[in-house]
Chains A and B, each alone.
Chain A
Amino acid sequence: EVQLVESGGGLVNPGGSLRLSCAASGFTFSSYSMYWVRQAPGKGLEWVSSISSTSSYIHYADSVTGRFTISRDNAKNLLHLQMNSLRAEDTAVYYCARVGPTVAFDIWGPGTMVTVSS
């Protein structure tokens, strides 16, 4: 079964750090670009970061540039998001998603909740 499962979310103080992970299974992880998309409570979807299959191309939303770092380990089928200097506005469910042959986000994980609050 093709699957993505996120982990690493939780409650963190403003200014703190968290590292999210996304475990992929059921497909050739190393062949696909991967994305992080977040959804603040009661809000819409927001693209956060993306990484190409070989990590050659990495992009960030302006709102997280300089604070978040995306990475991947193709040998372990893992995607990561290191989040530093967290702010209240980073509070959201974070989804990892695959861009498939259709050029759409065809596989999504169930999400992991990140809450930034003192």
Chain B
Amino acid sequence: QSVLTQPPSVSGAPGQRVTISCTGSSSNIGAGFDVHWYQQLPGTAPKLLIYGNNNRPSGVPDRFSGSKSGTSASLAITWLQAEDEADYYCQSYDSSLSVRVFGGGTKLTVL
């Protein structure tokens, strides 16, 4: 069981907006530690998508955005495209465990 909780799956039609939640606790997200998001396309390594809660690395489209509030964070994807179909993982730091922790991952299906 992951320290950070994500829905196993979400789906949306092309052009729609979807959000993926990441729920933590007072020892990780709620303690103020940054949340990062990764996109893993089928058969490939994870790729940094959002860092520091709401920042995009160079080359990541502005259709992807992140937010954080309290003990939770969210990834929003607007104008959904077929190429967005992938697994998405949130990640933070947990002060009780003293390690970086991942969410269980969410599979995005573009209908």
Given A102-B51, A103-B52: A108 and B99 within 8 A (CB)? no
- Point out the residues of chain A lying under 8 angstroms from B101, CB to CB: 47
State the main secondary structure of chain B at its contact with A.
Answer: strand
- Point out the residues of chain B lying under 8 angstroms from A75, CB to CB: none
CB < 8 Å A-B pair total: 55
Given A103-B34, A106-B57: A111 and B105 within 8 A (CB)? no
Q: How far is the CA of A105 from the CA of B52 in the complex (A)?
A: 11
- Point out the residues of chain A lying under 8 angstroms from B105, CB to CB: 44-45
Q: Which among B36, B45, B102 has the greatest number of chain A C-beta atoms within 10 A?
A: B45
Q: Please report the total number of B residues contacting A with Cβ < 8 Å.
A: 23
Shortest C-beta distance, B80 to chain A (Å), equals 22
Partner of A105, one of B44, B46, B99: B46
Partner of A45, one of B51, B57, B102: B102
Shortest C-beta distance, B82 to chain A (Å), equals 22
Partner of B51, one of A95, A103, A111: A103
Given A102-B55, A104-B36: A111 and B45 within 8 A (CB)? yes
Contact in complex: B103, A44 (CB < 8 Å) = yes
B96 contacts A by Cβ under 8 Å: no
A109 contacts B by Cβ under 8 Å: yes
Contact in complex: B45, A104 (CB < 8 Å) = no
- Point out the residues of chain A lying under 8 angstroms from B55, CB to CB: 102
Supplied contacts A95-B46, A108-B47, 18 more A-B pairs, CB within 8 Å: A44-B2, A44-B102, A44-B103, A44-B105, A45-B46, A45-B102, A47-B99, A47-B101, A59-B98, A61-B99, A102-B36, A102-B55, A103-B34, A103-B51, A103-B52, A104-B48, A104-B51, A104-B91
- Which A residues have a C-beta under 8 Å from some C-beta of B? 35, 44-47, 50, 59, 61, 95, 102-106, 108-111
